[in-house]
C-alpha cells in the first residue's frame, strides 16, 4: 500500500492497490437483460476514447445533472458532457451512481473516463482523505470542475481547451429554456371529440380501430392516449423531440423501423405506437391483471419502463403491492425526490414523476368519457382489454421488432 504524495493544485493521490480492475457496465435493459461488459484499462486516455468512439462519464442522478425522459438524456451536466464528447469525435455514454464514493470508484477502476459533476477542490480533498484505504488512484480537476484520472493528461488538456469562460452560462441558458418549454401546456387546437352525438372521436378513428384491434386494445383507449400525447395534431413536436400523433421519440422510431419521412404520417405513427405498446406489454407481463397492466404500460410509454420498475421496487420495499397501480403511483411521484431517486435499489434515477402520474390519470379519465360516448365497434378488442390476461395480436412479438430495443 503506497502513501499519499503531494501533487499540483487539483491532483490528489490515494493509497492501496486495487485487487483487480472491475469491468465497465452498461445500464441494464428492463426487457432484454444486461449487455456484454467490456474490460477496460485504467490507463485509458483521449486517443483510446477516440479509437473506441465512446466517452463514458459518471454522475449523480438529478434534474440539474442527468435524467432520462423517453430514452433521451437531459440535465446540465449531461448536455455539457455530450457536447464535449462530440468535440473530440466520440459519442457519450452516461452512467449514474448513488453517491460520491461510487463516482470516484468508477473513475479509479476505469469504468468511466470522467466525473461529470462540478466537484470543488475542498470536496475532492475531503474525499481523498476518506478513501485513502480503498483506492489507488490520483485525480485531477479540469476547468468545469470535472474530475479525470491524473494519468489521463490528454483528456484533461482537451477538456480545458474546450471549456471557455462563458461555456457553463451558455449551456445553463439552454437548459433553462428547455425547462421553460416543458412547463408550457400545449394549446389544444382540436376538440377532444368531433361529434359526441355521432360517437366520432377524431378523424383518425378508423386507424385507432384497426391498430387497437390488432394488439387487443380498446380503440377508445388508444384515442385517449393520442389526445393526451398530441391533441390529435399529426405535426406535433414536444420539447423533448417526440414527434407525431403518438409522440414517438426519434431513437424509438429508429428502432421500430419508423423512418423520418413517415414519422408524421398518421398511419405509420399509430402503427409504430401500437408495436411499441406490444413491447411494453411484454415488458410487464408479470402483472397478470390486464386492467392493472394497462396503467403500467401507459406510465412506461410516458416515463420509461426502467423508471416504472424503480417505482415498483420502492413500493415493494415499503410493503406495498408492486403489481397494483394505486400502490405504485405514489412512488412514481417520489422519484422526483433525492431520498428516493438515489435509493440503492433505484437504477434509473430521477423522474419527472408528477407528469407520468398525471399522464396515466388523465388518459384513464378520458378513456372513461370516450367509452360513454363512442361505440366499441369491435367488441372483441374491448373484451380483451377488460378480461384477457394476455393481448391477442396477429403477429408474434418477434415479428414486430428483432433488435434489442431499450425502452426508457
CA 129, CA 320: separation in Å to the nearest integer?
Answer: 41
205 three-class SS: helix
Measured in residues, the chain has a length of 408
Residues in a beta bridge with 92: 55
180 sits in which H/E element: helix 167-183
CA 272, CA 255: separation in Å to the nearest integer?
Answer: 10
Tell me whether residue 229 is one of the annotated catalytic residues.
yes
Which of 189, 188, 187, 190 lies closest to 203 in space, CA to CA? 190
Q: Name the burial class of residue 96, with classes exposed (0-12), middle (13-18) and buried (19+) by CB atoms within 10 angstroms of its CB.
A: buried
For residue 239 the three cell numbers come to: 420539447
91 sits in which H/E element: strand 91-97
Residues in a beta bridge with 148: 140
Residue from 111, 118, 140, 229 carrying the catalytic annotation: 229
CA 270, CA 247: separation in Å to the nearest integer?
Answer: 10
353 sits in which H/E element: helix 353-371
Distances in Å between the Cα of 15 and the Cα atoms of 6, 12, 128, 136, 351 are: 12, 10, 9, 5, 37
Phi then psi dihedrals of residue 59, to 5 deg: -155, 180
- Which positions ≥6 away from 52 have C-beta within 8 Å? 90
Cell 408495436 -> residue? 275
CB 49 within 8 A of CB 116: no
CA 379, CA 212: separation in Å to the nearest integer?
Answer: 12
CB 301 within 8 A of CB 277: yes
Angle between the N-to-C axes of helices 353-371 and 290-303, in degrees from 0 to 180, rounded to the nearest 10 = 130
Which of 28, 32, 29, 51 lies closest to 40 in space, CA to CA? 51
Count of other CB atoms within 10 angstroms of residue 332: 29
Catalytic annotation, residues? 229
Amino acid at each position: 500500500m503506497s502513501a499519499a504524495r503531494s501533487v499540483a493544485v487539483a491532483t490528489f493521490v490515494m493509497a492501496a492497490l486495487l485487487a483487480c480492475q472491475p469491468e465497465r457496465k452498461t445500464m441494464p435493459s428492463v426487457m432484454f437483460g444486461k449487455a456484454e461488459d467490456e474490460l477496460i484499462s485504467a490507463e485509458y486516455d483521449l486517443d483510446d476514447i477516440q479509437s473506441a468512439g465512446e466517452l463514458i462519464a459518471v454522475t449523480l442522478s438529478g434534474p440539474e445533472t442527468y435524467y432520462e425522459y423517453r430514452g433521451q438524456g437531459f440535465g446540465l451536466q449531461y448536455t455539457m458532457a455530450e457536447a464535449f464528447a462530440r468535440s473530440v469525435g466520440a459519442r457519450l455514454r452516461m452512467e449514474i451512481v448513488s453517491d460520491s464514493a461510487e463516482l470516484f470508484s468508477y473513475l479509479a477502476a476505469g469504468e468511466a473516463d470522467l466525473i461529470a459533476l462540478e466537484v470543488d477542490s475542498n470536496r475532492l480533498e475531503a474525499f481523498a482523505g476518506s478513501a485513502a484505504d480503498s483506492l489507488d488512484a490520483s485525480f485531477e480537476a479540469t476547468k468545469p470542475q470535472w474530475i479525470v484520472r491524473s494519468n489521463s493528461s490528454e483528456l484533461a488538456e482537451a477538456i480545458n481547451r474546450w471549456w471557455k469562460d462563458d461555456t457553463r452560462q451558455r449551456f445553463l441558458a439552454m437548459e433553462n429554456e428547455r425547462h421553460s418549454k416543458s412547463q408550457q401546456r400545449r394549446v389544444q387546437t382540436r376538440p377532444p371529440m368531433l361529434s359526441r352525438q355521432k360517437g366520432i372521436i377524431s378523424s383518425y378513428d378508423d386507424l385507432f380501430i384497426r391498430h387497437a384491434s390488432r394488439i387487443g386494445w380498446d380503440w377508445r383507449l388508444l384515442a385517449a392516449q393520442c389526445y393526451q400525447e398530441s391533441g390529435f395534431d399529426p405535426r406535433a413536436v414536444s420539447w423533448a423531440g417526440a414527434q407525431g400523433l403518438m409522440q414517438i421519440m426519434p431513437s424509438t422510431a429508429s428502432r421500430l423501423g419508423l423512418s423520418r419521412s413517415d414519422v408524421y404520417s398518421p398511419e405509420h405513427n399509430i402503427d409504430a405506437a401500437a408495436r411499441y405498446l406490444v413491447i411494453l406489454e411484454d415488458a410487464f407481463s408479470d402483472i397478470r391483471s390486464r386492467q392493472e397492466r394497462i396503467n403500467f404500460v401507459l406510465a412506461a410509454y410516458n416515463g420509461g419502463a426502467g423508471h416504472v420498475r424503480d417505482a415498483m421496487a420502492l413500493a415493494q420495499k415499503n410493503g406495498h403491492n408492486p403489481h397494483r397501480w394505486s400502490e405504485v403511483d405514489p412512488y412514481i411521484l417520489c422519484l422526483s425526490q433525492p431520498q428516493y431517486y438515489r435509493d440503492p435499489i433505484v437504477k434509473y434515477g430521477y423522474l419527472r414523476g408528477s407528469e407520468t402520474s398525471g399522464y396515466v390519470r388523465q388518459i384513464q379519465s378520458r378513456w372513461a368519457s370516450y367509452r360513454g360516448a363512442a361505440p366499441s365497434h369491435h367488441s372483441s378488442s374491448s373484451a380483451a382489454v377488460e378480461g384477457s390476461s394476455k393481448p391477442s395480436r396477429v403477429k408474434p412479438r418477434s415479428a414486430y421488432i428483432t433488435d434489442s430495443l431499450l425502452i426508457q
